[in-house]
Structure 1
Amino acid sequence: MAMALNRNPEKESVTVSNKIEAKSVYFDYGGLEILRDINLTIKEGEFVVFMGPSGSGKSTLLRLLIGLAHPQKGEILVNNQFIDKSLPDSSVVFQDYALFPWLTAEENIVLALKQKLKHTKTKKELIHLAHSYLELVQLGHAVKKYPGEMSGGMRQRAAIARALALGSDLMFMDEPFGALDPVTRINLQDLILQVNRDQKRTVVFVTHDAEEAIFLADRIVMFTPGPPGKIAEIIDVPFPKPRNRQRLLQSYEFTHFRDHIFGIMNKGVLEKLEENDGVNINGAGI
């Protein structure tokens, strides 16, 4: 995939600061506790991955950080601003594409850019920008296609192109590559890493895929099975960036670290079974 991403020289020498802070966050829905006592700090420019079993609250925490919902207890700050008072400037990619079906791929991106850039760009400039990012995700041939004329993978790539085009310093991504074929998935993983590195964007990314998490992340936030979901452990990924995919995946160190991740997940599942069933992992009653 050909990529031409510009560095932001204004950020090269900036001291790293906290981008996101979640302090003692609790969240329930309909009387069911979804998240309990979440404490998390994400630095500017970090690539942080949320990982855990289904129902552990990963996507819920993502929505809280975006400002789409608010915790019953605790506080969340983005850029030192409480998000219940000021929504953060961010780009978001959900699992369900979220494209307007009556607009083409090009028009979906141009509409978002109009809201972001207001009167700073001409229509011609906005269209050129939309085309550039659609080319970046290998959709240059589909700029005039409507979502109903595209496959699920193509629609997701269009949503990713829109998020990238907005240029926000903060990107939230909820399993964005799940509907993609393996080759496109690898290409877009590389692209997001390059955006994170070259443009110093902060990325918060949800996945169930351990290999994806290890390849992408600076840190992995491991969640316990829910409800309620809690943070089991926050793990620094020990492999320096940029990472060579083939060498990394074939290394003993990678296999050992992946097994460590799986071990944390399995421990959480067993502890949840004990809690729910009143038996320990050896089957003895408690």
Structure 2
Amino acid sequence: MAEGTGEANVPAPIPRWFVSAPAAADLRPLLRGLQQRLVHPYVLSDVAALGASIAQSLRQAIAQADTVLVVLGSSDGSQSTLFEAGIAVGMGKRVIVIADPGVEISAGLEGLLTIRARPDDLEAIFFALNQAEGRLVPGPAAAMAAGHPLGDRRVNELLDLLHKARRERAVLEVLQTALEESGALTVQRPVVVEPNRFVDLGVWSDDLDAIALNPLLIEVKSMFSHAAVRQTLHLLQGSRMDAALLVYLHPPHSPKEMTEALEKDLFPVMAISLETLLERMRTSSFAEVVRDLRRRAVHGVPAT
């Protein structure tokens, strides 16, 4: 320490995470895991003042938190946690939801980072948190979209590069460039989903939060086929994420092959040709294109 400067190396404060869960939930593994991540987790009973009302203690507990972690179990008793999540959102806190795979997510929680896992499945929870590192920021409920179209000139340039591309690496570079230049995106390439298994791209976007597709895994295939859909779905399941975008370079050779590729509903895999994606990004942001693809996939409308 330098004398006379009045300065000292002050350690950064440990982030405080308020954990909201049904009373019967066993949170011990989760709380220990959070502590190992250098987080200070606490529940309402840890900070509630004796003699204070529950509502007063709850608001104080949420106000002191940097992050509110909401645990939704498969059994009854989640109404209180939904109420607490609503208070946290209203107070502008960043909220993360851990939901048992069998739990139906309330419409009021759409747009929040949601991890589909049991509260004791620490591997799945912390994998998702690691993927989200740096993207969990509080914001107003009605934030403005940050992505933007690429415009005619830039899309023409990218299409020209795509038509000249002869190697997979060059194709991926065209796609990655388009995504990054569309704004408000973090692109990772490649993404490890299982030991020795990779997805071509992983995309984080604030705009995709609103349709619960954050992060989005992207797999590039030479041709759209039923096998390509199955392979992408397998990678998606290994990633523990919720949806994937299959970007292909060529359609099937025949209408019959297209029918076979679409014989079952695609979602949670969405599909689009790279050329079509670029064309649509002339006038739409990437998130707007994905939102439309999700709607089409959910309702069984054929891919473009």
Settle same-fold status: TM greater than 0.5.
Answer: no
TM-score, scaled relative to structure 1 = 0.29
- Which fold has the larger relative contact order, with Cα–Cα distance below 8 Å and residues 6 or more apart in sequence? 1
